[in-house]
Amino acid sequence: MNSSYWVESTPQTNYPNLSKDIDTDVLIVGGGITGILTAYMLSKSPLNISIVEADKMAMGVTANTTAKITSQHGLLYDYLLNSFGFDIAKGYLDSNEEAIKIIENIVKKENINCDFTKQDAYVYTCDKLSVQRIVDEVSSVTSLGLKAEYVTECPLPFPIEAAIKFPNQAQFHPRKYLLSLLPILEKRNVNIFENSKVIDIKHIKDKYEVYINGNKITTKYLVMACHYPIKNFPGMYFIKMYQESSYAIGVEVEEDVFDGMYISCDTPTTSFRNTTQENGKKLLIVGGGEHKTGATDVNIDDTYTNLENYIKSIYPKANIKYRWMTEDCVSLDKIPYIGEFSNFLPNMYVATGYKKWGMTTSHVAAKIISDKILGNENSYENIYTATRLEPIKNRKEFGNMLKTSIYSLAINKISPPIKSYTELKNDSGGVVNYKDKKLGIYKDNKGKMFAVIPYCKHLGCELSWNNLEKTWDCPCHGSRYDYTGKIITEPTTENLDTVDLE
Ligand SMILES: Cc1cc2nc3c(=O)[nH]c(=O)nc-3n(C[C@H](O)[C@H](O)[C@H](O)COP(=O)(O)OP(=O)(O)OC[C@H]3O[C@@H](n4cnc5c(N)ncnc54)[C@H](O)[C@@H]3O)c2cc1C
Ligand code: FES
């Protein structure tokens, strides 16, 4: 079973599920970093706050991140400057730099032991052809007021062509940070409910009725902190966002582990950081293998093996201790969606599309949303306006999404399956022909078959089989289900229909 170091080194939470109807002032859907921080920022106000979490607190994407706290979100600022101009690029940079300080202040003020350490962050290239991209990024970032450096050497244990260095960034243990905030929320009377999945939301007069486990929460303010918004209309986030999966391994090596946080701008992308484990030994965290969730045109079977072989080419005696993966939402214009969910639904807020940089962005979001609810000004809110439709002008990505949807919703659905179920080997799966029915079947190690109707419960796209994780993944917007059809990742709120082959 693959599980992250963050999960393995912290205890599980145990909050009650919602078992009766309640009224609250603010309901936060989702107990990840966004939900917890939004609750924290609101919790000193007189408002009554509640969080509902479908699973356990801080066990979603946040439990499977690499947890670099940085405003360096890949090579972004040259693109932002050229596409949106100085004010947006500077506001993005300043808001994320401010978020690093917010985290540092919370850690100090609440006396949290979460392995928070200051680190330099680098985007590097080993390819001569990409050096100019680094030069341009340094020039853009410097023009925005951050003292970024162009370097040709860094602590990485292999030569690079060039890198951009952001000084004074940070890293932490995300679950230690969040689990330490939960008792503070409890003391401030925030209601926390686990195993409480929202399945429906209704807007009635000036309130929201939110349906969970056969019960209802009535609230004035509703915050969608559930990663991918679970309400399709009128927000229509499904036309302006997709999900991307990435993988990480935690490795012990005999040599000294280098400091700093790194991500390459080459293909494939590789990322590094370290952390100190409970036994005092350093763990090197290596990330990579990214692809669109549910993509059918990539071979993901060898993703972990490729990462492991790569690290063993540098440290031949590397001991692989952890493996994990997750997916994050990517907006089509690379700017997250934070703020009002829709112009038609007052007092409903959303924070999503962090494109794998949610440690700082979640704090930007928590501040913007809590300021909106409390009626405070926030100088960054216009940068992230969630209701904007401009992202779909990104013709390339919008075209890709449209193509995937047409294939998965129409063409794949009407085309007969290529394989018969008899061709499935043990421990593999796929959409197959089973006695003239098109089914999704996984055959376990002993040949036992688990069958599902292979159409996503979100908007009906045909699912693809992920043999690495033994999951059904949706190529359209990234919902994922385990081989028994149980939801792993939103936007879907329903399990798959199953078929008893006996
Ligand atoms: C491999 C990888 C590495 C990353 N590394 C970094 C990094 O180094 N630095 C960085 O800044 N960012 C990184 N990120 C991104 C970052 O981890 C995410 O952006 C962030 O954790 C998202 O937080 P969240 O609170 O929005 O989502 P989540 O943590 O997923 O929280 C959402 C919660 O909502 C719950 N939920 C969903 N549906 C419902 C429902 N219907 N009812 C109730 N609850 C519901 C879920 O169970 C979940 O717990 C990485 C992402 C990936 C994929
Ligand atoms: S996630 Fe939208 S159709 Fe599957």
| pLDDT, tens digit, 9 for 90 and up, residues 113-153 | 999 999 999 999 999 999 999 999 999 999 999 999 999 99
Q: How many angstroms separate the alpha carbon of residue 302 from the centre of ligand 1?
A: 24
**Percentage of the chain with pLDDT > 70?**
98
Does a structural domain hold residue 91?
no
Residue 352 pLDDT > 70, yes or no?
yes
Which residue, chain included where needed, has tokens 């992920």?
A: 466
The predicted pLDDT at position 300 comes to 85
Ligand 1 atom having least distance to the Cα of 359: 11
The pLDDT confidence band at residue 64, using thresholds 50, 70 and 90, is very high
Residues 268 and 323 in one domain: yes
CATH number of domain containing 386? 3.50.50.60
Q: How many angstroms separate the alpha carbon of residue 413 from the centre of ligand 2?
A: 14
Helix (H) or strand (E) holding 366: helix 358-374
For residues 313 and 305, the answer to whether their CB atoms sit within 8 Å is no
The string over 112-138, giving b where at least 16 C-beta atoms fall within 10 Å of a residue's C-beta and e elsewhere, is bebbbeebbbbbbbbeeebbebbebbb
- Sorted by sequence, the CB contacts under 8 Å of residue 279 that are 6+ apart come out as none
Q: How many angstroms separate the alpha carbon of residue 129 from the centre of ligand 1?
A: 34
Q: How many angstroms separate the alpha carbon of residue 221 from the centre of ligand 2?
A: 27
- Protein residues with CB under 6 Å of any ligand 2 atom: 238, 456, 458-461, 474, 476-479, 491-492
The predicted pLDDT at position 323 comes to 97
Domain boundary, last residue among 312, 328, 344: 328
Query: Distance (Å, rounded) from C-alpha 380 to C-alpha 53?
Result: 28
Q: What is the pTM of this model?
A: 0.97
Domain boundary, last residue among 288, 308, 328: 328
Residue 1 pLDDT > 60, yes or no?
no
Query: Distance (Å, rounded) from C-alpha 234 to C-alpha 246?
Result: 30
Q: At what angle do helices 358-374 and 33-42 cross, to 10 degrees?
A: 40
Each residue's pLDDT tens digit, 198-228: 999 999 999 999 999 899 999 999 999 999 9
Q: Whose CA is closest to atom 12 on ligand 1?
A: 357
- Sign, CA dihedral 427-491-33-261, equals positive
Residues 481 and 430 in one domain: yes
Beta pairing, strands 215-224 & 22-29: parallel
CATH number of domain containing 251? 3.30.9.10
Q: At what angle do helices 86-109 and 77-84 cross, to 10 degrees?
A: 140
Residues 158 and 256 in one domain: yes
Residues 283 and 426 in one domain: no
Question: Which ligand has the nearest atom to the CA of 223?
Answer: 1
Determine the structural domain holding residue 381 and report its residue range: 22-65+175-240+334-393
* Among 284, 30, 65, residue whose Cα is nearest residue 38: 30
Each residue's pLDDT tens digit, 297-322: 788 889 999 999 999 999 999 999 99
Does a structural domain hold residue 7?
no
CA angle centred on 178, ends 373 and 259, rounded to 5°: 120
- Residue 72 CA: distances (Å) to CA of 1, 36, 295, 361, 499: 32, 23, 27, 11, 47
Q: How many angstroms separate the alpha carbon of residue 173 from the centre of ligand 1?
A: 14
Query: Distance (Å, rounded) from C-alpha 262 to C-alpha 228?
Result: 27
The predicted pLDDT at position 403 comes to 78
Each residue's pLDDT tens digit, 3-17: 999 999 999 999 999
Amino acid letter, residue 195: N
Residues 229 and 262 in one domain: no
Residue 350 pLDDT > 90, yes or no?
yes
Query: Is the Cβ atom of 226 under 6 angstroms away from ligand 1?
Result: yes
Given its phi and psi angles, is residue 213 left (phi above 0), alpha (psi -120 to 50 degrees) or beta?
left
Mean pLDDT over 147-174 rounds to: 98
Beta pairing, strands 471-473 & 437-443: unpaired
The pLDDT confidence band at residue 411, using thresholds 50, 70 and 90, is low
Query: Beta-carbon neighbour count of residue 17 at 10 Å?
Result: 14
Does a structural domain hold residue 110?
no
The predicted pLDDT at position 413 comes to 67
Residues 338 and 481 in one domain: no
- Residue 295 CA: distances (Å) to CA of 245, 268, 291: 10, 16, 7
The pLDDT confidence band at residue 193, using thresholds 50, 70 and 90, is very high
Instruction: Say how many CA atoms lie within 13 Å of 411 toward its Cβ.
Output: 6
Average pLDDT, the chain: 95
Residues 205 and 253 in one domain: no
- Residue 216 CA: distances (Å) to CA of 20, 208, 212: 7, 10, 6
Q: How many angstroms separate the alpha carbon of residue 341 from the centre of ligand 1?
A: 18
Q: Probe ligand 2: pick from 239, 412, 458, max atoms within 8 Å of CB?
A: 458
Through-space distance between the first and last CA atoms of the chain, rounded to whole angstroms = 28
Residues 121 and 268 in one domain: yes
Each residue's pLDDT tens digit, 359-378: 999 999 999 999 999 999 99
Q: Probe ligand 2: pick from 233, 237, 242, 459, max atoms within 8 Å of CB?
A: 459
Residue 417 pLDDT > 80, yes or no?
no
